[in-house]
Amino acid sequence: MRMMNTFPLLGLCIGQVAPLGPRGVASGIVKHQVHQALMLSSLGLEGDAQGDTIKHGGPEKAVHHYPFEHYGAWREDLGEHDLLMAPGAFGENLSTMRLTEDVVAIGDVFALGAAVVEVSQGRQPCWRLNERFGRKTMSREVQNTGRTGWYYRVRQEGLVKPEDTLILLDRKAPEWTIQRIWKTFYVDTFNLKELKAITELPWLAEGWRSYASRRLESGRVEDWGRRLDGTELASRQ
């Protein structure tokens, strides 16, 4: 599928750390649209924060993008839901239409206002989505559907406005879509050829290349339970 070149923002979203869900876990997943310009630095948008800075945020996950057309698919799956009325439900910073995991690829470079960003990795959903939606299986559903969104690293810092447009500047590996890597990690999990190629993809975040390397070395698929179900959190309570 051929990618278009320009994608107007439907939402520019940020959030501060606050108690999430019945257990009151500190999280920055609750994002709200803003109506003023924000500075985008190598660590993310001005005013945005993460509750767990070890597993979330950082230079390789500075900006999270989630396609707004997925909201319609989720309404079909879940029924009407208050969170699905406006961008921000999935903890995303950017919302657009016509830009999805089947066309976006690792190493794609976009101008965003005065900033320049590059696709670094897909999103690995975690149990905070369960807390956010009040649905125990939400993170697994996000992973299973491939409606995950993706992250950018920041190549050039700059001011970003809600009315800005993402403009495609360069494609370094258009064949390596977010969907292709998702399929290898979560569907065709022992495709050794794909896993080996992922370890050698220079524009992919190091953490994801290591993820593929560990699977090749161990010969087994990782236990996703702690990440998806929050069993680690439950054991501490």
- CATH code, domain carrying 97: 2.40.33.20
Per residue in 76-89, pLDDT (tens digit) is 999 999 999 999 99
pTM recorded for the entire structure: 0.95
| Overall number of domains in the chain | 1
Cα gap 43→36, rounded to integer Å = 19
In whole angstroms, give the CA distance from residue 112 to residue 76.
Answer: 31
The pLDDT value given to residue 51: 83
Q: 202: which residues sit within 8 A by CB, 6+ positions away?
A: none
Dihedral sign of CA atoms 87, 35, 159, 62 in order: negative
Report the pLDDT value the prediction gives residue 233, as an integer from 0 to 100.
47
176: alpha, beta or left, given left = phi > 0 and alpha = psi -120 to 50? beta
Give domain status of residue 20, yes or no.
yes
d(CA 125, CA 141): 9
Predicted local distance difference test score (pLDDT) of residue 56 = 80
Q: Over the stretch 167-208, which tens digit does the pLDDT of each residue have?
A: 999 999 999 999 999 999 999 999 999 999 999 999 999 999
| Token reading at 130 | 């369960």
Alpha-carbon torsion (167, 169, 175, 179), positive or negative: negative
pLDDT of residue 231: 65
Whole-number pLDDT of residue 57: 86
107, part of any domain: yes
Residue 142 lies in a domain: yes
Q: Which long-range contacts link 207-210 to residues 24+ away (Cβ below 8 Å)?
A: 207/60, 207/121, 208/121, 208/122, 208/181
Residues pairing with 95 in the sheet: 11, 66
How far apart are alpha carbons 160 and 46 in whole angstroms?
A: 10
Segment 143-166, tens digit of pLDDT: 999 999 999 999 999 999 999 999
Q: Of all residues in the chain, what percent carry a pLDDT higher than 90?
A: 89
Range of 116's domain? Answer: 6-235
Share of the chain above pLDDT 70, in %: 97
**pLDDT for res 59:** 96
Tell me which residue has tokens 């996703």: 224
Q: How far is CA 23 from the centre of its chain?
A: 24
Estimate the crossing angle of helix 206-218 against helix 178-186, to 10 degrees: 30
Distance CA 73, CA 184 (A): 23
- The torsion angles phi and psi of 122, rounded to 5 degrees, stand at -80, 180
Phi–psi pair at 45, nearest 5 degrees? -80, 140
In a domain, 21, yes or no: yes
Domain contains 30: yes
Report pLDDT digits (tens) over 89-143. Answer: 999 999 999 999 999 999 999 999 999 999 999 999 999 999 999 999 999 999 9
Mean pLDDT of the chain: 94
Q: How many CA atoms lie within 13 A of 159 on its CB side?
A: 4
Residue 153 three-state SS: strand
The whole-number pLDDT of residue 1 equals 61
Of the pLDDT bands very low, low, confident and very high (cuts 50, 70, 90), residue 235 is very low
The residue that leads in pLDDT, 121 or 55, is: 121
How far apart CA 137 and CA 203 sit, in angstroms, is 31
pLDDT band at 54 (very low <50, low <70, confident <90, very high): confident
Decide if 1 is inside a domain. Answer: no
Residue 61 DSSP code: G
